[in-house]
Structure 1
Amino acid sequence: MRNSILTVFAATMLMVGCKKNESTAGYQSTDTQTVSPAVTDKDSIKPADSAATNTATTVSLSEQDKKFADAAAKGGIMEVMMGQLAETNASNPAVKALGQMMVKDHTKANDELKQWASKAGYTLPSGLDADKQKKYDELKTKKGTEFDRKYTELMVDDHKKDIEEFKKQSADGTETSLKSFASNTLPTLEHHLKESEKAKAAVK
């Protein structure tokens, strides 16, 4: 009888031990599964590194480059807008022709500058600053001979300043393509100045 009781007790203890081992094995399996998300988190860093690499490819510009590009963009926009006014508001044929030339040549130069900015990853001004807007608004109120005199006067003054700025960029700029744009546009600006001076003399 005593031996039977001992046998049953031993069998019971073996069953309990097996269940503990099964339970322990389950915890070990769960611990192993929790390791994998950590590896996924490390992999998710890669897109940020790629973005940083893309940003680094943007062309490096000096303060001179940026100052010139901004001024050339705003000046070019003003020349086109004023040229369009001359086509309709001028009374002298020479002044109308001057306006047409300004629209044609500065539209071309503006497009070339935009192409450079797109390749360089640089954002150009899309409108006039306060000073140029004021000049345009004042010119817009004038008609006939009064317009002719004011427009030709503005064209002479502005192109003298433009030539100085483009020469400075040709000499002091650091970005090769922008320097080439300045150098290649200079002959056109010098021609504009001569034609503006002729038109100014014709309306006095």
Structure 2
Amino acid sequence: MKNSILSLLAVAALVACKKSDTTTMNTTGDSTAMMTNDSATVGNDSTMMPADSAATGTNSSVTANLSAQDKKFADAAARGGMMEVMMGQLASTNANSAEVKSLGAMMVKDHSKANDELKQWASTAGYTLPTSLDADKQKKYDDLKAKKGADFDRAYTDLMVSDHKKDIAEFKEEASKGTESSLKSFANKTVPTLEHHLMESEKAKAAAK
């Protein structure tokens, strides 16, 4: 009888030990799983942070580097380019001579290309360009639009000569005094085209007198 009781106690102790081991293992397993999941979550958050910075940092850093000169030039170039295209389009219908019509077509083609390049720069830099003429340029356009034939030819070629002299000076100033390298490069490479426009405008002006 005594031996039976001892045997029962031994079995009970053995079962208790096994339960304790199982509980310890489960607890350890749960802790390990939780730590793994938490670590994965932190890892994901850490991975996302640089991506967010990369998505927003590039444009803002370029915009922050723009000087007052850069912004003044970009705005003036955008409005000037728009006016050149609009006036060139008028020349196709309002001009009297074939030479002035041809001058207008060249202005539309070349300034549309330059305008697109400036817009591409602005998109990359995160800079907002003006989308309409200022009051002065709008008045010049409206006055020119009212003219026809020989009167149009004289007025248009006068404007093209005076405006391109002004444009060349502004583009050269940006090329030498600007801060943002891509905008300076755009200004510098556009100067020869503007100088060609001035030369052709002076020829057309002489023929229109």
> Structure 2-normalised TM-score?
0.71
Deviation readout 1:26-71 (Å, 9 max, x if unpaired): 2222222111012212322224324535766668443223432342
Distance 2:175 2:7 in 1: 105
Query: Which runs of 5 or more residues in structure 2 are unaligned?
Result: none
Q: Which moved more, 1:27-36 or 1:10-19?
A: 10-19
1:83 is displaced (CA, Å) by: 0.5
2:72 alignment partner, SS class: helix
**Counterpart Cα distance in 1 of 2:106 and 2:144:** 18
Spell out, residue by residue over 1:79-103, the C-alpha distance to the aligned partner (whole angstroms, 9 max, x if none): 1221111011112444323212322
| Pair 140,20 (structure 1): closer, same or farther in 2 beyond 3 Å | same
1:29-178 equivalent positions in 2, closer than 5 A: 29-44=29-44, 45-53=46-54, 60=62, 61-63=65-67, 64-113=69-118, 117=121, 121-122=124-125, 125=129, 127-131=131-135, 132-133=137-138, 135-178=140-183
AA matched with 2:124: G
Provide the rounded CA distance (Å) in 2 between the counterparts of 1:138 and 1:88. Answer: 15
Gaps of 5+ in 1: none
**C-alpha displacement of 1:124:** 6.5
In the superposition, relative to structure 1, how do residues 189 and 4 fare at CA in structure 2: closer, same or farther (>3 Å)? Answer: closer
Q: Percent identity, aligned pairs only?
A: 53
1:138, distance to aligned residue in structure 2 (A): 4.9
- The residue type paired with residue 121 of structure 1 is T
Q: What amino acid is aligned across from residue 28 of structure 1 in structure 2?
A: T
Q: Which piece of structure 1 moves more, 157-166 or 144-153?
A: 144-153
The normalised TM-score by structure 1 is 0.72
* Matched residue, 2:28: 28
Q: Once the two structures are superposed, what CA deviation does each residue of 1:125-184 show, in whole Å capped at 9, x if it has no partner?
A: 384334345543554444334433443343234223212211211221234454344334
Counterpart of 1:12 in structure 2 is 12
**Taking structure 1 as reference, are residues 129 and 17 closer, same or farther at Cα in structure 2, changes over 3 Å only?**
same
Q: Does 81-90 or 1-10 show the bigger shift?
A: 1-10
| 1:189 aligned partner | 194
1:105–1:9 Cα change, 3 Å: closer
SS of 1:42's equivalent? helix
Inter-partner Cα distance in structure 2 for 1:162 and 1:113: 15
1:37 and 1:110, CA in 2 relative to 1: closer, same or farther beyond 3 A? same
Residues 83, 8 of structure 1: CA spacing in aligned structure 2 closer, same or farther, 3 A cutoff? same
CA distance in 2, matches of 1:18, 1:188: 90
Higher helix share: 2
Alpha-carbon distance change, 109 to 7 in structure 1, aligned in 2, over 3 angstroms = closer
